[in-house]
Amino acid sequence: MLPELEEELFSLEENLEKATNHLSDEYLSVRAGRANPKILDNIMIDYYGSMTPLKTLCNITVPEPRMLIINLFDKSATKETIRAITASDIGINPTDDGKVIRLIFPQLTAERRKELDKQVKKMAEDCKIVIRNGRRDSLDKCKKLKKDMNFSEDEQASFEKEVQKLTDKYIALADEIMSKKEKEVLEI
């Protein structure tokens, strides 16, 4: 296979790997009935006039499967932290005992599980779209290279076959990641 085509295959595989890694990272922020500190990653606190990620202002521990404890380094940021958590879309009301902030994860209702399941499936479908778009872009580059370099039909067919193998591999990986998260969400 031509070096240009091998380079394109390498680039495609790198991009598909990033897409599936992104899907895994997105799934960490989906609340599935268990306490997970990653759910707080996107929360920003107005700390002395600048927006600061919550995780840089505190220690977050998981003492029980359904509870997070936030121990702020600077106790004066407690009210802002509670306000930011309440305003976020995680759906958990924080409680403050003066020393730490507790987040207690309630048992998920059947309706909420179905909503989360739909969200999980949508995230996986978005990942698959990125994978398919990568395949399309690689095939388009191959066609352009064929015009410019005038290589054989066999080399083009071989490249297209390799691209399809990569696409199938990463779509199967996205499905596997989705099924694990779906099982976690639907677990009672």
Domain span holding position 139? 3-29+109-186
Are both 96 and 155 inside the same structural domain? no
Are both 121 and 164 inside the same structural domain? yes
pTM: 0.73
Are both 100 and 113 inside the same structural domain? no
Domain boundary residue, one of 49, 76, 104: 104
Are both 125 and 170 inside the same structural domain? yes
Is 80 exceeded by the pLDDT of residue 30? no
Q: What is the mean pLDDT of the chain?
A: 88
Length of the chain: 188
Are both 62 and 98 inside the same structural domain? yes
By CB atoms closer than 10 A (0-12, 13-18, 19+), residue 117 is middle
By CB atoms closer than 10 A (0-12, 13-18, 19+), residue 61 is middle
Are both 88 and 153 inside the same structural domain? no
Say which range, 26-30, 44-48, 64-68, has the weakest mean pLDDT.
26-30
Domain boundary residue, one of 87, 104, 121: 104
pLDDT given at position 11: 93
Band of residue 145 on the pLDDT scale cut at 50, 70, 90: confident
Cα dihedral 141, 145, 147, 149 in deg (nearest 10): 180
Band of residue 168 on the pLDDT scale cut at 50, 70, 90: very high
Angle (CA) 95-72-99 rounded to 5° is 50
Is 90 exceeded by the pLDDT of residue 125? yes
Are residues 71 and 61 in contact, defined by beta-carbon separation less than 8 angstroms? Answer: yes
Q: What are phi and psi of 88, to 5 degrees?
A: -75, 170
The residue with tokens 């207690």 is 104
Are both 113 and 180 inside the same structural domain? yes
Instruction: List, in sequence order, every residue forming a beta bridge with 44; answer none if it has no partner.
Output: 53
Band of residue 188 on the pLDDT scale cut at 50, 70, 90: low
Alpha-carbon distance of 54 to 162, in angstroms, equals 44
Say which range, 76-85, 112-121, 147-156, 168-177, has the weakest mean pLDDT.
147-156
